[in-house]
Structure 1
Amino acid sequence: MRSHPEFSGTGTLSWNTRMKQYLGRGARIKFEEAAIREVTYRPFCTQVGYMAAELNDRQGELPLVFPTTHHRNFGIVLTAPASHFEFTPFFAAHVPDLHLLDTGQFFPRWTYEKSEPSDGGLDFGSPDESSTDEWGFRRVDNISDGILALYCGTVGDQVTKDDIFFYVYGLLHDPAYRETYASDLKKMLPHIPTPDTRERFEQLASAGRRLADLHVDYEAVDPYPLDVKLKSSASASDCETWRVSKMKWGKKKDSETGKNVDDRTTIIYSPKVTIAGIPEDAERYMLGSRSALAWIIDRYQVKADKASGIVNDPNDWCDEHDDPTYIVDLIKRVTTVAVETMKIVDSLG
């Protein structure tokens, strides 16, 4: 989803140190259309953000990672050491929110550096990826030549830097790795061992590529065949049938206590729609504090921010794109992502 929140609030903002300095200087902040970016706000939730140094506090290195809307990048998001939740890797191809999973860190495939004129003109260099592009940037590979040489010496000269990057993503999902280093992962960033064999390297690199594809292109995977049940008074052709307010899990009786507990195989989409048949494996795929589908339930609801009055309504995306069943289809697709992710993870043992 790419939402466009409606603003009807107080017109206030967060007065950080930088904003107070601007105020003291009487500086004017101009709207820049180029600062509008797609942001990976939470898992499976893309929103529109505004990326400008004047209004975004502590951007860190992000301006070098996504310098313009023309520059493609992707990377691995990690829960930070001392996170409240289990160590979690995720993949993002847009500007990542600081709290995408929990307060964490982002490791991009590339960074970009602005080229400076030299000897009266730009140094265009050789015609490879390090040369200056039409927007005046050079792409810098974040996999160093030294690391490439180390891996080539270990598993063969045919290894590429992309292979190494996806090997890391695959390894971070390996249950044996996460169990062995569980204590360390709570205190520090992961250390990546050099693979022992080419076969193991290829297995993890292939797994990492497949996982990255699933996690980034979740809107393009085949929908899982869930059972979408409509009340007799509801019509599938009526757009109002598919409008969502706030989803929740179904309920069932606990066999031991007799109490009502969440039924993670069923989502109450609305008073008119129930989605059933969710496989148990979908709940195994955890992203920080929630399963993949629990993130959908949490994020895809109509919610107003009390302080600003900003309303986040996921139905807007459906209306704008004439796709009333988008959220139902998203639930099906994220179910596929969760199930396929766990198949890949289980294969690594």
Structure 2
Amino acid sequence: MRRISAFALTALLSLAAAPWVAPAAWAQSEPRLEGEAVSARGLYEAEVPVNSQAEADRRGGFTRALGAVLAKLTGDRGVTAKPGVAAELRNAADYVEHYDYRQDQGTSPSGAPTFRTLLVVRFREADVDAIAGVLGLPIWPQPRPKPVIWLAINDGSGPRLVGLPQTNAARPLLNRAVERGFSLGLPAGSTAEQALVGAIWRQDTAAIARASSRYSPPMQLIGKLYRDGGSGWKADWVFVDAGKVLSSWSTRDADARRAMAGGADGAAEALMKRYARRVAIGQAGSYRVVFAGLHGSDDYVRLMGRLQKMSVVRRITPVRAGGDRLELDLELLSGLPGFQRMLGEDALISAEEGQPPVYRIP
């Protein structure tokens, strides 16, 4: 498989002598996926493999898809481990705007055709934004930048630039960036740009920044991919924003495609660290609230079940009960504004200054 991968890269990179392509063409070089009509393209969409179209598999797919959407929205691959997120993932079906299925066809190592079912899900933007706000997750705002990727690959025959004519050679990197919620653009691949391979290999950020001046924004992901001994591949990366190096890292893998894809992960982490911001909804802490309109044990059980499912609620402590009212102390992740947002605006009955707010049973 490594010999095949190297051969494929060599064949693709041999196109580097193709005619010059105008910068305008680069601006239209958004990576496209197979079956785009039902592919997940936006921040609030994701596609995940499922075993079947049965309801149980679909609901599990909704959970994983919402996790992928939150990862794109925040730029954080570890977002599902944040406090309160797991509880919201269990409610993923409640936030689905629409879904569809797509069949992917591939080939097994033996050459036999393989088929994979993908669930393509779009979630309601307002609901996902509310989840992020209530849980205090950082939001990586839109519009998001499209850095230029200056990638050189050496498969043993010398380093060569991956430009727009060699888009397929960079497909693992471009697709991983889309999965992380942003896009990368390839340079046009002109003769002058091909001559920059030495600067890429030296990681001469100043020279690359000058060559990128025709492109916008002034961000560059500089990478070199090469053999790591005899059994794998290594890629060295530098991410530059407006002339400042934000991050540098290396990725290694037996598969050149996975080593290449790691460039998008590092760029996403650098962009998230620089640009993601939390939207303040309220302060975490313990708050006294009152629920009215409880007319028996069924209402009490329903209320407690509803509160226990809310990711913003960390702890429930009963204080007193009387008539149709129940007073509680709630430990909340994002204060009363976040609690009310998840409970629903219509639930609030009164909010007098200095008094616990009163809600009706949801």
- Indicate the structure with greater helix content: 2
Tell whether the structures are fold-level matches, with TM greater than 0.5: no
> Which TM-score bucket, shorter chain as reference?
under 0.3
Which is higher, the Rg of structure 1 or of structure 2? 2
Query: What is the TM-score normalised by the length of structure 2?
Result: 0.22
- The answer to which structure, 1 or 2, has the higher relative contact order (CA under 8 A, 6+ apart) is 1
Q: TM-score, normalised by structure 1?
A: 0.22
Between Structure 1 and Structure 2, which shows a larger proportion of strand residues?
Answer: 2
